[in-house]
Amino acid sequence: MKLLLDENLSRRLVPSLQAVYPGSSQVDLLDLSGANDHAVWTYARAHDSGRLHEARSPTSG
């Protein structure tokens, strides 16, 4: 399984994750910065990637 990190997660995490999840990347590295959620999910599905994103509570703004 590959992981696709959302743009709110640092691209600096990618090298560490690739040791366990080869082929993982981050949306900024794939020129998907600013893409809507649907576009990112579509990319993740097409490339057999799970998507990691920051969970926000309703009170976090």
Per-residue pLDDT reduced to its tens digit, 51-61:
777 665 555 45
Token pair recorded at residue 57? 């509570």
For tokens 């990618």, the residue is 14
pLDDT tens readout for residues 11-55? 999 999 999 999 999 999 999 999 998 898 898 888 888 877 766
pTM for this structure? 0.76
